[in-house]
Structure 1
Amino acid sequence: MYRDKLGIYLNDHLAGATFGIGLAQRIAHRHRHSARSADRQRICDEIAQDRRSLLEVMDALEVPARRYKVSGGWVAERLGRLKPNGVLYRRSGLSTLIEPETLRLGVGGKTLIWRTLLIVAAGKPRLDESQLHHLLERARDQIDTLETLRLAAAEAVFSSRARSVTDGP
């Protein structure tokens, strides 16, 4: 029963990580010429590394990755691109805010798995607690960076200066 619960838990987070990679790649690509493009690309690369680390943990715990959950995360990210955003045929300025906000929420969830795995690691010598602490710290750093990006996006979308440019005099 314990093993089944752990497998479900880890695979759910693997689906979320799959979703997160797709979103992070889209954000990094879309903003590749911006002033903070290096931060966006770093987060994208780290999220991909974190997913690989999760797969390594699953392997150490002999928990198989479930394809249907991984596929579900991939499909959910693609479907998320179709969300109504007030604009029918082009990208909405609101996406500039919603995307980093969504990614920040996902990384917040990632901190929870690393914290949970630190509890699991106490009884599993196959898990490297120092690696889990590193992953947790990196996730916290990602949250800080994403929050900075999110606030800048909110300013760009909702500030009175942004409205005066888009709404006219």
Structure 2
Amino acid sequence: MSNRPGSETRHPGQSRGDGSAFLGIYLNDHLAGATAGTDRARHLVRSCEGSPLAATLGPIAAEIAEDRASLIRIMRRLGIPVRHYKVYAGRAAERVGRLKSNGRLVRRSPLSTLWELEALRLGVEGKAAGWEALRLVADTDERLDPRLLDELLERARRQQSTLERLRREQAGAVFQGA
């Protein structure tokens, strides 16, 4: 099946022009996730301030915020408006996620750090999938810069690798002797 403009092959129920609407929904959903991820990364860095973990996560948190800004610029270039209610929903979901009990009521639990690293790792995986999808669109849409998308995808993969290493280290520390 071809997804090129003018193709007669479409999914059932999809009419000509739906692709643009679907892309707008898709990118706004990714923006909600990017907002939650940016907030989560900043929160984790603050929570671990002064530790080697915070020193490693600080640059990643900054990149995650930059990636969110890149997504907004791409949306503007494509003429896709930001749906602010989705941004607010992403921010609210991240804050509600902080309320999860992790075995301690007053102090921060090491399990909280592990959970947050896992959430960030999964978020970056989703971000990479979004960049991959946009890279496919860039093959037929000259408003998108394939090189930029390749760079964003490579950065997401580096972030995934670092977050996975940190997640494993934290899991080992939390469950040591279990």
Taking structure 2 as the reference length, the TM-score comes to 0.87
Paired letter, 2:84: R
2:169 corresponds to which of 142, 147, 152: 152
State whether structure 2 residue 102 is matched by structure 1 residue 94: no
Q: Which structure dedicates a bigger proportion of its chain to helix?
A: 1
1:155-166 map, 5 Å: 155-160=172-177
Corresponding residue SS for 1:103: helix
2:128 aligned counterpart, secondary structure: helix
Give CA deviations for 1:116-155 in whole Å, capped at 9, x if unaligned: 0001111111111000000000000000110111011111
Q: What fraction of aligned residue pairs are identical, expressed as a percent?
A: 52
Q: 1:57 Cα deviation (Å)?
A: 0.7
Q: Name the counterpart of 2:26.
A: 9
Structure 2 stretches lacking a partner, 5+ long: 1-17
AA aligned opposite 1:56? R
Instruction: Find the residue that maps to 1:86 and give its secondary structure.
Output: coil
Please list, as runs of the form range in 1=range in 2, the aligned pairs for 1:130-149 lying within 5 A after superposition.
Answer: 130-149=147-166
Question: Which residue in 1 is equivalent to 2:39?
Answer: 22
Write the letter of the residue equivalent to 1:135.
L
**Structure 1 equivalent of residue 122 of structure 2:** 105
- The Cα offsets for residues 44-70 of structure 1, whole Å up to 9 and x where unpaired, read as 000000000000110111000000000
* Structure 1, unpaired ranges of 5+: 164-169
Deviation of 1:96 after TM superposition, in Å, equals 1.6
Tell me, yes or no, if the aligned pair for 2:36 and 2:91 is still in contact at 8 Å: yes
2:48 paired with 1:48: no
**Secondary structure of the residue that 2:152 maps to in structure 1?**
helix
Structure 2 distance, partners of 1:37, 1:5, is 37
